[in-house]
Amino acid sequence: MAKENGDNIILIGVMGAGKTCVGLKLSWKLKKPVEDTDKMIEKKKGCSISEIFRTEGEEAFRQMETQLLQEIKSRKYGRILSVGGGLPVREENRRLLKECGTVVYLRVRPETIYERLKADKSRPLLQCEDPLGRIRALLEERKEAYESCADLILDADEIDVNACADRIAEMVGKMKNRKKPHEQAVTERKRKKLLVINGPNLNFLGIREKAIYGNQDYEYMKSLIAKKADECGCAIEVFQSNHEGAIIDRIQEAYFDGTEGIVINPGAYTHYSYAIHDALASIAGIPKVEIHISDITKREDFRKVSVTAPACDRQIYGYGLDGYLMAIDEVLSRIENRNLRTPSK
């Protein structure tokens, strides 16, 4: 079955298999955001999983997992996903998992799980007279469900977290490198030249206001864009300055250096720099998209006003670092449409 988003890597396995730790290592290694389905549901419901079980029951929780997978399937950009241990038990969830991306089963022995979790009093399933026996029974119950939906199975008892992440990245990479003919053709086309401009304080990502701008730093963002460049066969330069004049100079240079599209996050200059607006407007023939990491419509009043956006073709905001990837796609689409409208000589 075709996967809706083959860029997702989904980690499944029983509690204590190492999904959270491996997911974090994979996130840094592959430059992909990492998310945990249990935490996503807790955030959406505003309460803990145990509270959901207590007030609404397990069946209601499993339905929430199914709904979440349906949302994940429709997302455009890939992530590392660590899913709850019981999520694959439901047949519909197994089907959705396979449609969502590459499913990796971290398989471990009961004894390994027991050693990892024996001191953890937060696991209700293990608060019994024979926790090891309970783990064995749980693994036996879920064995077929886990194995039937897994694209890759990795025995994770003896190898450490780093080695495990390296092995998964290697196996997934081999799968993705088996390119289809049309995918090979994309890489052989002429590389388009794009420019991503970041304004003041963007170099302080991961340091400034993490609740608004996230924990990932500026180097992570650059790596995310570099990965996107490889995927779409483009040459993408990332430029950052805290100085208005330097940003204007770079916009003007783009007119002469063959840049075909611009993604710009003007930072605070968004709200008052008519000089940057004029520079963008002066290169009308180049597609331009303004991007903001946060949802500026839900912040202070002054942030809701952009004097630079009218000089761009579109404004994207509120999608975190994924907004850069969306903006790149938008610029590429506009370049393609422009080329289709231009008659060949």
Q: What is the DSSP string of 194-229?
A: EEEEE-TTGGGTTTS-HHHH-S--HHHHHHHHHHHH
Percent of the chain with pLDDT over 90: 46
pLDDT in tens, 153-182: 888 887 788 888 888 988 887 776 654 444
Number of domains in the chain: 2
Sorting pLDDT into bands at 50, 70 and 90, what band is 183?
Answer: very low
Query: Where does the pLDDT of residue 343 fall: very low under 50, low under 70, confident under 90, or very high at 90 and above?
Result: very low
In this structure, the answer to whether residues 29 and 60 fall within a common structural domain is: yes
Average pLDDT, the chain: 86
pLDDT, mean of residues 64-93: 89
What pLDDT shows up at residue 88?
93
φ/ψ region of 320 (left if φ > 0, alpha if ψ in -120 to 50, else beta) reads left
**Dihedral sign from CA coordinates of 224, 226, 227, 231:** positive
- Rounded to two decimals, the pTM is 0.56
Instruction: Say yes or no: 148 and 39 in one domain.
Output: yes
pLDDT digits (tens, 9 = 90+) for 218-230: 888 899 899 999 8
- Where residue 122 falls among pLDDT bands split at 50, 70, 90? low
Active site positions, annotated: 213, 292
**Pair 85, 117: CB distance under 8 Å:** no
CB atoms within 10 A of CB 217: 14
Indicate if 17 and 155 belong to the same structural domain: yes
Question: In terms of residue numbers, what domain contains 97?
Answer: 9-176
Rg (C-alpha) for the chain, rounded Å, is 23
The pLDDT of residue 338 is above 90: no
268 & 170 share domain: no
Question: In the prediction, which pLDDT does 208 show?
Answer: 76
pLDDT at 231: 87
* DSSP class of 267: G
- Check pLDDT > 70 for residue 187: no
In this structure, are 140 and 14 located in the same domain?
A: yes
Q: Quote the CA–CA distance of 337 and 313 in Å, as a whole number.
A: 13
User: How far is it between the farthest Cα atoms of the chain?
Assistant: 81
Q: In the prediction, which pLDDT does 213 show? A: 76
Q: Based on the domain organization, do 109 and 199 belong to the same domain?
A: no
Q: Are residues 284 and 245 in the same domain?
A: yes
